[in-house]
Amino acid sequence: MSKVIIALLFSPLIGFWLGFFVQKLMVFLLWAAKPSINKSLRRGQLFAAGLAFSHGTNDAQKSMGVLTLILLLSGNIKEFVVPMWVILVCAGAITLGVILGGWRIVKTLGFAIYKIRPIHALDCQLTSISVIFSASLLGAPVSTTHVVSSSIMGIGSAERYKAVKWQKANEMLQTWIVTIPSTALIAMLIYSLVDFLIVKF
């Protein structure tokens, strides 16, 4: 439990400060660049699209782990090995979620926190890939959305602190704080209800 909680709490902070320093470093390296550098930065984003890969290495794995544990505890499998159908279901579900609801999140991240330009987008991708993939290698579950959002805040702060929409950032933070204990409470209530029904009937 402590590993899960520590990863969820500290990954946004790491994303913020890593994004801050990556932005500072990038500005230092490109201080004499001309506006045409934006074309190269956009092309760089294609290589940094590994964010999708790192996203899959963490987010989908959490669901796979839970489903496999349920299968193990229910006796449907004899050892903790993720079945292929579980991998396909989780991969399909996360892909479908991105397709159906992803654009609203993209709009929030791209416009609601800080006005993103090519340099910010590339820095955000590099930061997020580093944090999420490192967490995956350590076996630590993190929220991709939390890491990406906090890295944008860090990048914006490194450039123009006052241009960051801190009201929106505050709303997101409050949502994060409420979400974790709320889901834990709902899970407890559902478990208690199901357990009661099983004993009763």
Q: Kindly report, residue by residue over 37-49, the tens digit of the pLDDT.
A: 988 888 888 776 6
Total number of domains constituting the chain: 1
Domain that holds residue 128: 2-164
Question: Is 99 a domain residue?
Answer: yes
pTM for this prediction:
0.81
Look at residue 178 and tell me if it is in a domain: no
**Strand, helix or coil at 23?**
helix
Residue 198 belongs to some domain of the structure: no
Determine, yes or no, domain membership for 186.
no
- Residue that the structure tokens 């090995």 belong to: 81
Inside any domain, residue 96 = yes
Residue 130 belongs to a domain: yes
Whether 84 maps to a domain, the answer reads yes
Per-residue pLDDT reduced to its tens digit, 135-153: 988 888 888 888 999 999 9
In a domain, 92, yes or no: yes
Query: Can you tell me which residue has the tokens 């496999």?
Result: 68
CA dist., res. 163 & res. 157, Å (int): 8
* Element spanning 112, H or E: none
Q: With CA atoms as reference, report the closest residue to 144 among 62, 55, 50, 52.
A: 55
